[in-house]
Structures are given as structure tokens and as C-alpha cells.
Structure 1
Amino acid sequence: MVNEINPDGINVKRIETLVDGVFAIALTLLVLGITVPSVTNPTEAVLYQSLVDLLPNFYGYFLSFCLLAVFWRINHSQFNRIKRADNTMLWIVILWLLFVALVPFSAFFIGEYGNYQISNIFFDLNLFAIGFLLFLNWYHAINSGLVDESEIKRGKSVLMVNLMLPAISLLAIAVTFLPFLKEYGYGWSNIVYLLIPFLKRFQ
């Protein structure tokens, strides 16, 4: 399939290039949330404990990296089927990238304050915005004739699967209000994101 340029002069390939660039930067910035411990008198025991103290930061890095990879993969799959773009799609993607670029901050936030409810809710809201705009982009593409007619039927069946991504983020927010997490740590609410790999079964 050859991507077309519409009368507004919007090239699908240029949008894909922008997306790839922002994702590359966001994925790279995630590692900055893990800083090498500054130890005055290092010993094996002290360095070991320093690494243990960094586990929440590693957790935030790993979780955010994997989730961004999932979102990039879904977007890549969408644009394999999108033959042209319009101004509405362009601005949906730009708004979407705004929240993608925010993920490193969200990851740092839960890395440093993962035992607090507000940091986890902020992280979940960030992912909700990314998931919802990803759904909205595909919904607009299908209903605005931006994909091949042969893809419309399958595309509509995938819509509900894409809507499950922001739904999982809302579920994660709801889980933070469970009473026992106040004692065991709000970071456990993010375990619901393990549901995402199972969405592939419905595509």
C-alpha cells in the first residue's frame, strides 16, 4: 500500500517519523530516572543496599519502557493500514505525543514515590490519556475513510480491543483505592498492566 498525500499536504510518513523520534527520545530518557548511587565509603554491603534502594526506580523504568513499547507497536500497526491523513488526525497524534513525552516524568515520579497514591494515579492518568488518544486516532481513521476499505471491517473489531487499554488504566486507578494497599504499597496497583499482553488474543 502506498501512503497518499491529501490536499492539505499531510504526509503519513512524516507523521510516522515524528512519532518514532518522540518515542526514541522518551524511551531513552526513562533511564535517567536511575542514577548511580553516590557512596562516600563504598563496601560490598553498602553498594548492595544502594542497589536494593533503587529497585523502585528500576521497576518504574521497566514498566514504563514496556508500556511505551506496546503503545508504539499498536501505533505502528495502525499506520500500516492508514493510507492518508487529515488535519484532525495530525492534531490527535500531536496531542498523543504530548502525553508520550510526559511518561519519563511519570516514571520518575513512581520510582521516587511509588508508595504514595497520588504518584500512581498520576502515572495511570498519563497512560489513560495515551491509550484513549490511540483509540481515538484509530476511530477517526476508520470513520473518516483514511484506511483501505478492505481494512474497515477488521479495524472496527480491533476498536474495542484498543479501548481496553485506557480501561486498564482506569482499573489501575480504582485499585489504588483498595484499603489494603495503604499498608502494602500503592505500587501494587500497577500489576493490572500485566493484562495488556492478553489483549493480543482478541485481535
Structure 2
Amino acid sequence: MAAPMRHASKTYLLQFAHEHIDFKLAELKAIAHLLRIPIRVDEAKYDKKNPFLVVDLPSEKDGRRIMGRSVLAKSLFELWATAGCFDDLHRELQMLPKDFVKPHLSEDLTYRIRVEAFNRSLSPAEKLERINALPEETLNFQGKVNLKSPDQSFHLLEFYEYEAQKSTKGPVALYFGRWVRFRKSDQCLP
């Protein structure tokens, strides 16, 4: 389970541009040091070819501050679940405390769910299949769908090994989270 508080920090997911891959961790550490934001990254699990990086931060505000300075980070997500297969991801989502998810799913908030894959293209039908498979008992959205400018944007992110376009293997890593911020230069992106 990713999102609930652990040691006065929350777990977030950074999505990096797939450029200058040797510098993304160094940039993150430098910005955190400059802004005096304590971060925790499990460097044993760090894969420079993976555009996604799980990081523990003190607050969403601190994550936004880092994104305001980053050149290589594209997006920041509050990480709700991560797994190596869909069944495990769904189990992780089902274990989320109701009081944690409820404020984000209320009827007065519009929402959307986006499905994105790295190193593989997904058809619209595959994306819809993944959205429909999310556990309804936990992700009981009460608000209306708004695909253009929702109050809450949830993302299912899939990371595949290279050469995955030709492979029938599943994703190496799956992430589900609530979008927090794009990098400053991309604020107008959907």
C-alpha cells in the first residue's frame, strides 16, 4: 500500500522525461537539497531506464516545489498503489483505507482516469478494459466524469521492458495514483 502516511512522509511517483537519464536522480537530489526538502528514494530499486521513480516526501506542497524547479521531471503523482501485475495492483487498491480515498471521490468533484504505457502502445479498447477492471468497491467515484478539466485526475501507468512492442509479456511495473502537478513548463498540458 503506497499512499497512507509512513514516518511523517507520503509516497509519490515522479515521471521523468526519457532524456538525460543519467542525471534524473542527481537533479532530484540537488533540488531537494537546495530547497531543504528531505526525500527518501530506494536506490536499490532505482532503474535509470524506468521513467518512473517512487519517492517519499514530507508533503504535496514539497513535491510541487520540486516540480517547480525540475527540468527532467514531467509529472508528480500521489502514489496509491504499485505492483508488478494487475491482480496485485487491484489488491493494493482494495487495501486503501476508505477515509484516505473518500475525500478524492466525492460527488462534488469531477474526475477522469487516464491509462498510459511506456515502451508499448495501448489501443483505446485496452485502456478502457483496464479502467473497467479497477476495483469499484474501493474506487467508488461519486462525481461526474470530466475528461478535459477534471478536479481530480487519476492515472494508471504501465512500464514495459524495451522491445515490449513485439513481446506478449506484461508490464514490469504498474502504478496508480492521483495526479498532483506537471512540470512548470508543461502547465497547459491536459
Q: Same fold (TM over 0.5)?
A: no
The TM-score, its normalising length taken from structure 1, stands at 0.25
Q: Which has the higher relative contact order, 1 or 2, with Cα contacts under 8 A spaced 6 or more apart?
A: 2
The TM-score, its normalising length taken from structure 2, stands at 0.26
Structure with the largest fraction of strand: 2
Structure with the largest fraction of helix: 1
